[in-house]
Chains A and B, each alone.
Chain A
Amino acid sequence: MSLLSVKKLRLKYGEQIIIKDASFTLEPGDFACVVGANGSGKSTLIKGILGLIKPASGAIEFGEGLDQTKIGYLPQDTRPDANFPATVEEIVLSGCLGHMKMRPFYCHHEKKHAMESLALLGIENLAKHSFANLSGGQRQKVLLARSLSATKKLLILDEPSNNLDYKSRKDFYKTLAKLNKDQHLAIIMITHDLDADDLIGNKVIAIENGAATIAKTEEYLEKYK
């Protein structure tokens, strides 16, 4: 069974139709990069999948053990204010909220899960640190750990390498590839440009004239070389 099937999805922003027809399926363990020109609707598409934008028509179906609130989302740029008073632990724990239903407090299980997310990225030593004092690369890893707390199946990342320097970017991509391989996590990642270096997954979701389709990365490169 597919992890995610998007069927004839149509998404509007206000009155304007941004995505006319998105139809693709994602299998467990897939790593898909979303590409398309500026303003082609890459962010709109993933917001539709996340349920942040209500679809105008079409359907999104999730596989066994996954639902819309159990996707690990990493929003575009480091939106949180750099001076925001929060510790890494507080932030990563907030990823567990999707599992809590109406319960008001975190229990032992969630705290353990948050620490495991940090450990997966090798930053458990930062748990008590203030978010404001971290470097850009560290901050992005903390937000990735928060997404990991939210999901066991699917990560959706919106241009995660945007504000990272070359070295942190390479490092971040390496981390993602490792998560994809070792944890068998499916990943959907919007990449900023069409640089082949950024197409690190096995698949590409290309958006052109409002239509989103999926292809294997080699096939995609073949076609556009």
Chain B
Amino acid sequence: MIEMFQYAFMQRALIVGLCVAICAALVGVSLVLRKNSMIGDGLSHTAFSAFALATVLGLAPLYVALPVVIIASFFVLRLSQSKKVHGDAAIAVLSASSLAIGTFAISVSKGVNIDLNSYLFGSILSASWADVVMSIVLAVIVVSLYLFAYHRIFAITFDEEFAKSVGVKTSIYDAIFAAICSCTVVLGMRLLGSLLISSLIIFPTLTAMRLAKNFKGVVFASVLISIVAFLIGLALSYMLATPTGATVVLVNLAAFILSLLLEKTRKS
């Protein structure tokens, strides 16, 4: 088991994966409970098209994708809160269009050798040292935000109108959330795949909600579940030589089903 970490790429994947797992779980609690689960999905597809376009144009993907996705996230968050448009429909349109733009760009550009598969489903080899540094910085920011703004995050997640009325600056928190959600998606997608990263945001919270009935409990449980699921998924994918992203998602699915059964037996 331990010998798999003698490879530098596995060490990098471990660190990036753990940081992304922690961030995804924390961001996920807010997104899922505010019924904005699809935002992660929309953003990961946007990230895919940004990555594809950057590669085709010969630019550094990370530095193109990050700003593009952050801008998209502000836009999407605004849409999802607007009462005039159908936010969910807008996100579905964004997802599909982004995927189409990315795929189209890759197929027309000749002479560029891109592994479409690794963008869509992730590759364990993709984490660079720059990714490692960025993911650690992101994790520190997200965790300290949760530590110091925990009660305000709870208030906004539970009832935004009320939070506003007692003077919580909800629009600032929304902007911060959009930014960290984007960073999590961009950092995680190359490792776990743009089609799969959003499930990492949603699954831990769903599982945690079956196990804990208070907010604090759900936050802690979802981080713990996310970390454990990632570690098990990484180890399994190494031993079975399966794609890491898909394996981690399957472990999360198994945990979710287990939590459902647990809840059922506890009730009866």
Chain A interface (Cβ < 8 Å from any Cβ of B) = 50-52, 68-69, 71, 73, 75, 79-81, 83-87, 90-91, 93-95, 97-98, 104-106, 130, 132, 146, 150
Q: Is the Cβ of B151 less than 8 Å from the Cβ of A85?
A: no
Chain A CB within 8 A of B162 CB: yes
A-B contacts, 14 of them at CB < 8 A, read A69-B167, A73-B165, A75-B159, A75-B162, A79-B161, A80-B159, A86-B215, A90-B154, A94-B162, A97-B152, A97-B163, A104-B151, A130-B213, A150-B166
Q: Is the Cβ of B212 less than 8 Å from the Cβ of A85?
A: yes
Chain A CB within 8 A of B104 CB: no
B49 to chain A, nearest CB (A): 32
Chain A CB within 8 A of B214 CB: yes
Q: Is the Cβ of A86 less than 8 Å from the Cβ of B158?
A: yes
Across-interface contacts of A83 in B (CB, < 8 A): 209
CB-nearest residue of chain A to B218: A85
- A98 to B148, alpha carbons, bound, how many Å? 16
A109 to chain B, nearest CB (A): 14
Q: Is the Cβ of A52 less than 8 Å from the Cβ of B161?
A: yes
Known contacts A52-B165, A97-B163: does B213 contact A132 (CB below 8 Å)? yes
Across-interface contacts of A69 in B (CB, < 8 A): 165-167
Across-interface contacts of B217 in A (CB, < 8 A): 85
Q: Is the Cβ of B148 less than 8 Å from the Cβ of A90?
A: no
Across-interface contacts of B209 in A (CB, < 8 A): 83, 85
Chain B interface (Cβ < 8 Å from any Cβ of A) = 33, 35, 147-152, 154-155, 158-159, 161-168, 209, 212-218
Q: Is the Cβ of A75 less than 8 Å from the Cβ of B161?
A: yes
Q: B151, B161, B166: which contacts A105 (Cβ < 8 A)?
A: B151
Across-interface contacts of A93 in B (CB, < 8 A): 151
Across-interface contacts of B166 in A (CB, < 8 A): 69, 73, 95, 97-98, 150
B203 to chain A, nearest CB (A): 16
Q: Is the Cβ of A97 less than 8 Å from the Cβ of B214?
A: no
A39 to chain B, nearest CB (A): 15
- A171 to B223, alpha carbons, bound, how many Å? 42
Q: Is the Cβ of B149 less than 8 Å from the Cβ of A104?
A: yes
Across-interface contacts of B151 in A (CB, < 8 A): 93-94, 97, 104-106
- A97 to B162, alpha carbons, bound, how many Å? 10
B127 to chain A, nearest CB (A): 33
B254 to chain A, nearest CB (A): 22
B73 to chain A, nearest CB (A): 23
Known contacts A75-B162, A91-B158, A94-B158: does B167 contact A130 (CB below 8 Å)? no
Q: Is the Cβ of B165 less than 8 Å from the Cβ of A50?
A: yes
Known contacts A94-B151, A97-B166, A104-B149: does B215 contact A85 (CB below 8 Å)? yes
CB-nearest residue of chain A to B155: A94
Q: Is the Cβ of B214 less than 8 Å from the Cβ of A87?
A: yes
New contact pairs (16) apart from A84-B158, A85-B213, A98-B167, CB-CB < 8 Å: A51-B165, A69-B167, A73-B161, A75-B162, A79-B161, A84-B33, A85-B217, A86-B215, A90-B216, A94-B151, A97-B152, A97-B163, A97-B166, A97-B168, A104-B147, A130-B213
Across-interface contacts of B165 in A (CB, < 8 A): 50-52, 69, 71, 73, 75, 150
Q: Is the Cβ of B167 less than 8 Å from the Cβ of A73?
A: no
Q: Is the Cβ of A73 less than 8 Å from the Cβ of B162?
A: yes
CB-nearest residue of chain A to B211: A85
Q: Is the Cβ of A104 less than 8 Å from the Cβ of B215?
A: no
Nearest 6 A/B pairs, CB to CB:
A69-B167, A98-B166, A73-B165, A94-B155, A130-B213, A75-B161
